[in-house]
Amino acid sequence: MINICNIERFATHDGPGIRTVVFFQGCPLRCPWCANPESQIIQAHLLYDHKKCVGCQVCEQHCPTKAIQFTDHRFTWDRSLCIHCKACEQACLHHAISFAGEQRSIDDIMEEIRKDKDYYRSSHGGVTISGGEAFMQFPQLMELLKKLKEEDLHVTIETCGQFPSEYLEQAYPYIDLFYFDIKHVDDDIYRSTVKGNRKQVQRNMEYLTRKDPDKIVFRVPVIPGFNYDDKTLNAIIDLAKQHHVKEVHFLPYHTLGKVKYEKMLQDYTWSPTMMKEEELEKYKPYALSQGITLKIGG
């Protein structure tokens, strides 16, 4: 079984052609601007819609572990007590409770993927594995990759690069294209902001570029207050050139995930102002001068 957040069909921004994207649950990083915060933990996450809630407290009565409590008429959920029985979701007649994340068998996921095989062929598309970070569920990821290759499907993976190098060596033969996050070039800023180890990401990036730099695209979420400055973004272009990577994507900061934080009973702490794609056009001439194709957006 794989803990997944979602399966999206007919995607066109997550690799070549028409694709089915499988979003895995679980991520080792904690980017404060994350657009998919519900996928950060491997287990399903409760989503509470206060606009639909009438305060009847039926959910609290049905919760066997007291994970749901009303404190001063305010709904609270203690993740550490939740056993994911979903009794609360079933009990709520007002559809104010739902869950992000579910367990699906690999056969079931493959069945969903096969539905669009004709489109993959006609558009040179395939399957993209995204997240979260799929390497967090490594044995399940390997099983899925092997099935995909048995059926000769093109596989792209979107990854933050934060996982043990031996996992990469095992998975490498089954993956055709890596959309690889390069969030920053400074170890300390990376650690203090997204809570990860950039040296590990660098090791995995170097492994991939040594193997075949044509199989890796750098993806850079451009975030004001974190990496949106000429020095950092030009350094990422330089890093691509140094490792013979030919394509870099700058993804402008957006706040489309903000509403999810509210439903997860969490605060959204990053900037409320979205970026425009045009703001990043200015980096294209420098990238071009370094032999890099820079795309803005997905």
Residue 47 is a binding residue for ligand SF4 (CB under 6 A):
no
Residue 265 is a binding residue for ligand SF4 (CB under 6 A):
no
Stretch that binds ligand SF4, among 17-25, 88-96, 198-206, 247-255 (CB under 6 A): 88-96
- Shortest CB 103 distance to ligand SF4, Å: 14
71: which DSSP letter? E
| Nearer of residues 44 and 292 to ligand SF4, judged by Cβ | 44
Residue 57 is a binding residue for ligand SF4 (CB under 6 A):
yes
**Residues 124-143: b if buried by 16+ CB within 10 A, e if exposed:** ebbbbbbbbbbbbbeebbee
Residue 41 is a binding residue for ligand SF4 (CB under 6 A):
no
Residue 241 is a binding residue for ligand SF4 (CB under 6 A):
no
x-marked contacts with ligand SF4 along 58-77 as a string, rule CB under 6 A: xx--xxxx-xx--------x
Q: Residue 138 carries which side chain, given as an amino acid letter?
A: F
Residue 235 is a binding residue for ligand SF4 (CB under 6 A):
no
Cβ-Cβ contacts under 8 Å for 87 (sequence gap 6 or more):
62, 63, 64
Alpha carbon distance 153, 118 (integer Å): 11
Question: Quick one: which of 13, 30, 54, 288 contacts ligand SF4 (CB under 6 A)?
Answer: 54
- Shortest CB 51 distance to ligand SF4, Å: 10
- Shortest CB 261 distance to ligand SF4, Å: 18
How far is the CA of 79 from the CAs of 45, 67, 91, 100, 216, in angstroms? 8, 7, 18, 13, 37
Question: Quick one: which of 87, 239, 265, 296 contacts ligand SF4 (CB under 6 A)?
Answer: 87
- Shortest CB 49 distance to ligand SF4, Å: 8
Question: Quick one: which of 6, 42, 43, 84 contacts ligand SF4 (CB under 6 A)?
Answer: 84
Residue 110 is a binding residue for ligand SF4 (CB under 6 A):
no
Element (H, E) at 163: none
Cβ-Cβ contacts under 8 Å for 23 (sequence gap 6 or more):
4, 5, 6, 7, 8, 36, 39, 130, 131, 132
Q: Residue 175 carries which side chain, given as an amino acid letter?
A: I
Cis-peptide, bond into residue 132, ω within 30° of zero: yes
Question: Quick one: which of 22, 82, 217, 233 contacts ligand SF4 (CB under 6 A)?
Answer: 82
Structure-token pair, residue 172: 């490498």
Closest alpha carbon to 41 in 22, 31, 58, 27: 27
| Nearer of residues 31 and 46 to ligand SF4, judged by Cβ | 46
Alpha carbon distance 233, 227 (integer Å): 7
**Can you tell me whether residue 206 is helix, strand or coil?**
helix
Residue 35 is a binding residue for ligand SF4 (CB under 6 A):
no
- Shortest CB 45 distance to ligand SF4, Å: 10
| Nearer of residues 55 and 164 to ligand SF4, judged by Cβ | 55
Instruction: Point out which residues bind ligand SF4 (CB under 6 A).
Output: 46, 53-59, 62-65, 67-68, 77, 82-88, 91-92, 94, 96-97
